[in-house]
Amino acid sequence: MDAIKNFNLRDKGAEIWAGWGRPVRSAFVIVVVVLVGLLPFAASWGPSSFLDTPITSFQNVLVYPVGMFVLMALGLNIVVGKSGLLDLGYIAFFAIGAYSQAILSTLYGWNTWQVLPVGIALAMVSGVILGLPALRVRGDYLAIITLGFGEIVRIVALNVSVTGGPDGIAGIPNPPAIFGFEFNLMFPEHFFWLVLALILLTVWMIRRFTVRRPGRAWEAIRQDEDVASLMGVNTLVYKLWSFVIGAAVGGAAGVIYASKVMVISPDMFKFEVSILILACVVFGGMGNIWGVILGASILAYLPERIRFIADERQIIFGLVLIIMMNLRPDGLLPRKKREKVEEKRTM
């Protein structure tokens, strides 16, 4: 029993990975990426057709919620998992990205690829505006300020004319074709590949950060902010960086989301979604990229899969959260053991 309890898939995986040479690793990564890339066709292929979702088609489910949630959970993981800052208003950055796309494309005729850098930049700027005052205060106050920020963005979108108020903005154009891939209702798999590319880019970015100075600074801040600052880490700057990079990922997700669904309204950016993304991060295993991806995929996919029991699915979702947290409080795939130190209780 103890052996099962102490079994850590993350550590086991890391062990196997460390035993491989470079060519095997590259081959493995390519195989995994190709397999994931083929996912949109899984539902129409016999043996895996049980994956098919009722109501919304499986390929669309893969883009939203699954792909988008994975992307946002990865972004939030930088903030919550890597540097230990509790952000309860992450959806605000997603909303800012989505509204940039909606407004710039419908009013000024920009296409998605032009909006993407602008949307990311706007999300990052709002990250700075929120982070500069908010990151000076301690954990739980940070939680309520970010929660407030998320609500403020939604309420402003609800009450300002440029965002269309409660009706939102309709008629957002799809992204123009790129490398021969067309993006429209006929090809949801192309959107999935686009989101997959963004996810891979984000994973690569996080991995680079983790082994460099910012990653070590975040780790130090997460374990003990006071000690980190005594050791010469400029905590405010690095906390701000993790906040802003998380915001950038959220903004990018928002731009793509708006161009996919073509209609957005403030209802899509409620507090519940922030909580859901946070649940994805913790459920999968805070701080561990693979855990977060797995957790987000499951929590985004599960409610769609069981949509046929429309009334009870949210109840089941709540139960899953309770049971999972009681059985595996560190998430499905916890972070590496050596990174798991006793966090300071006053965090």
Partner 1 sequence: MNFSVITTQFWSLVLQGLALGLIYSLVALGYTMVYGVLRLINFANSEVFMLGTFAVLWVEIELLGHPVTAEPLGGFELGYTLAIALVGSMIACAILAVLVELVAYRRLRARGASRLASLISAIGVSIFLMETTRMFTESRPQTAPRLLEKWSFGEIAGANFRIDTMMAIVAPIIIFIILDQFVNRSRLGKAIRAVSLSEENAKLMGININRVISMTFLIGGLTTGAAAFLYTTVYENTVFNVGFNMGIAAFTAAVLGGIGNIRGAFYGGLALGMMEQFASAVLGSQWKAVTVFVVLVLILLFKPNGLFGEAVQQTRT
Binding residues vs partner 1 (CB under 8 A): 80, 86, 133-134, 136-138, 140-141, 143-145, 147-149, 151-152, 155-156, 158-159, 271, 275, 278-279, 282-283, 286, 311-312, 314-315, 317-322, 325-326, 329-331, 343, 345-347
The distance of closest approach from Cβ of residue 33 to partner 1 in the complex, given in angstroms and rounded to an integer, is 30
Nearer to partner 1, 142 or 206 (CB): 142
The distance of closest approach from Cβ of residue 314 to partner 1 in the complex, given in angstroms and rounded to an integer, is 4
Q: How far apart are CA 152 and CA 156, in angstroms?
A: 6
Nearer to partner 1, 151 or 304 (CB): 151
Query: Which amino acid is it at 196?
Result: L
Q: How far apart are CA 256 and CA 272, in angstroms?
A: 21
End-to-end CA separation in angstroms for the chain: 32
Nearer to partner 1, 40 or 75 (CB): 75
Nearer to partner 1, 113 or 141 (CB): 141
The distance of closest approach from Cβ of residue 141 to partner 1 in the complex, given in angstroms and rounded to an integer, is 5
Distances (CA, A) of 306 to 52, 274, 309: 10, 22, 6
The distance of closest approach from Cβ of residue 222 to partner 1 in the complex, given in angstroms and rounded to an integer, is 11
Distances (CA, A) of 58 to 88, 151, 243, 301: 29, 31, 33, 9
Q: How far apart are CA 23 and CA 224, in angstroms?
A: 38
The distance of closest approach from Cβ of residue 339 to partner 1 in the complex, given in angstroms and rounded to an integer, is 12
- Asked if 82 and 219 count as a contact pair (C-beta separation under 8 A), the reply is yes
Could you tell me how many residues make up the chain?
347
User: Residue 333, Cβ neighbours under 10 Å: how many?
Assistant: 21
Nearer to partner 1, 26 or 159 (CB): 159
**Between the CA atoms of 58, 62, 63 and 65, what dihedral angle is there, to the nearest 10 degrees?**
100
Distances (CA, A) of 324 to 27, 29, 81, 282: 33, 29, 18, 10
The distance of closest approach from Cβ of residue 209 to partner 1 in the complex, given in angstroms and rounded to an integer, is 21
The distance of closest approach from Cβ of residue 137 to partner 1 in the complex, given in angstroms and rounded to an integer, is 5
Nearer to partner 1, 205 or 321 (CB): 321
Q: Does residue 232 come out as left (phi exceeding 0), alpha (psi in the -120 to 50 range) or beta? A: left
Nearer to partner 1, 15 or 140 (CB): 140
